[in-house]
Amino acid sequence: MGVKGFVEGGIASIIAGCSTHPLDLIKVRMQLQGESPASVQNLRPALAFHTATTNIHIPVAPTRVGPVSVGVKIIQQEGVKALFSGVSATMLRQTLYSTTRMGLYDMLKQKWSDPDNGSNMSLSRKILAGLIAGGVGAAVGNPADVAMVRMQADGRLPLAQRRNYKSVVDAITQMSKSEGVTSLWRGSSLTVNRAMLVTASQLASYDEFKEIILAKGLMKDGLGTHVTASFAAGFVAAVVSNPVDVIKTRVMNMKVEPGMAPPYNGALDCAMKTIKAEGPMALYKGFIPTISRQGPFTIVLFVTLEQVRKLLKDF
């Protein structure tokens, strides 16, 4: 029974991940907007200029564009297929991370359900199960996560400085050779924290919303209930996880030159530098594409999961 939960969760996660990949790519590009030049190896001109007559140093605010503009720019500059940059890493990530978290959550749910309470697990136990499942899943899937962020961000670099990974396997191989095996777990504390928050908020809130809808007789157990509960769960997950997601993206994407100090000394340092340079709302950069992705991703995930469960119920 336990293995079945992993299979069901894995199939649903891979379908959801691949179908919403372009939205995830746009989110990553937006989260890197406004990052200081040092952290991306002086990839942009310095955001300042000197007036012709004086020596006054006037900072120039970085331009920030919305998700539609980012998407259009990617298509114009890199082609439509660029929207699927890193999709092989997404597939590997979903296979490792999401299969583990979905299956583990399902196992804990079965173990901790209370038969005297309609077999439903309490909200606190759902959250705890989500935290545990998300943490374990993230630790397993971190190398694919780092590769995915880098492959998605590569197109924004000048041609001479692109990493040009051919696939997720090539990305992981090159990183291991040039930066050491430990680079595959760069930002792992952030990945684990984010995954714990996402899994707890997403899976626990989906189950909770679904149970409330059914208990109050608002809708029957069908597509309408699944879509409503999953969209609500996606919104909760986006609000909870976005700040950690921004920091995770920046730490994973930073360039560390041999003999040079890294741009960020960890998650907290990255958070402080980001807030100082760009303000606290910078932690909600990419929120529109995050919710634009989390909503559809969560809907596709749970609607597919419910259908896969129906198909495999006799196994």
Q: What is the pLDDT of residues 260-280, one digit of tens each?
A: 777 787 778 888 888 888 888
How far apart CA 158 and CA 180 sit, in angstroms, is 24
Question: Is it the case that residue 9 has pLDDT exceeding 70?
Answer: yes
At residue 304, the pLDDT reads 92
- Residue 58 is predicted with a pLDDT of 42
Is the separation of the CB atoms in 16 and 300 below 8 Å?
A: yes
Residue among 35, 23, 5 at smallest CA distance from 297 = 23
CA angle 145, 149, 155 (to 5 degrees): 155
Give the residue with greater pLDDT, 119 vs 13: 13
Q: How far apart are CA 43 and CA 116, in angstroms?
A: 60
When mean pLDDT is compared across 73-77, 150-154, 234-238, 266-270, the lowest value belongs to 150-154
Gap between the Cα atoms of 88 and 63, Å rounded? 31
Q: What is the mean pLDDT of residues 193-210?
A: 91
Instruction: Kindly tell me if the per-residue pLDDT of 43 is higher than 50.
Output: no
Is the overall model pTM greater than 0.85, yes or no? Answer: no
Query: Which residue segments constitute the domains of the chain, with CATH numbers given?
Result: 2-311 (1.50.40.10)
Residue 48 is inside which H or E element, if any? strand 48-50
234-245 pLDDT, tens per residue? Answer: 999 888 888 888
Identify which has the larger pLDDT, 86 or 137: 137
Q: Give the single-character DSSP code of 155.
A: G
Proportion of the chain above pLDDT 70, given as a percent: 86
The answer to whether residue 38 scores a pLDDT higher than 60 is: no
Distance CA 304, CA 237 (A): 18
Q: What are the tens digits of pLDDT across the range 158-189?
A: 777 777 777 778 888 888 887 888 778 876 77
Buried b (16+ CB within 10 A) or exposed e, 51-73: eeeeeeeeeeeeeeeebeebbee
More confident residue, 303 or 147: 303
At 213, the pLDDT band (50, 70, 90 cuts) reads: very high
Q: What is the pLDDT of residue 59?
A: 43
Per-residue model confidence (pLDDT) at position 2: 67
pLDDT at 57: 46
Q: Rounded to whole angstroms, how far apart are CA atoms 293 and 137?
A: 20
* 213-227 average pLDDT score: 90
Per-residue pLDDT, 5: 85
**pLDDT (mean) for 110-138:** 82
Distances (CA, A) of 263 to 206, 247, 253, 283, 293: 38, 13, 11, 18, 29
What pLDDT score does 64 carry? 59
- The three-point CA angle 177-181-184 to 5° equals 110
Which pLDDT band, with edges at 50, 70 and 90, does 199 fall under? very high
Query: Who contacts 26 (Cβ-Cβ below 8 Å, separation ≥6)?
Result: 67, 70, 71, 74, 83, 286, 289
pLDDT at position 49: 40
Nearest to 6 by CA among 108, 85, 128: 108
pLDDT on residue 105 = 92
In the predicted model, is pLDDT for residue 1 greater than 80? no
% of the chain at pLDDT higher than 90: 17
CA–CA gap between residue 207 and residue 217 (Å, rounded)? 15
- Which one has a higher pLDDT value, 16 or 290? 16
**Which has the higher per-residue pLDDT, 258 or 79?**
79
What does pLDDT average to over the chain?
A: 80
Band (pLDDT 50/70/90 cuts) for residue 114 is low
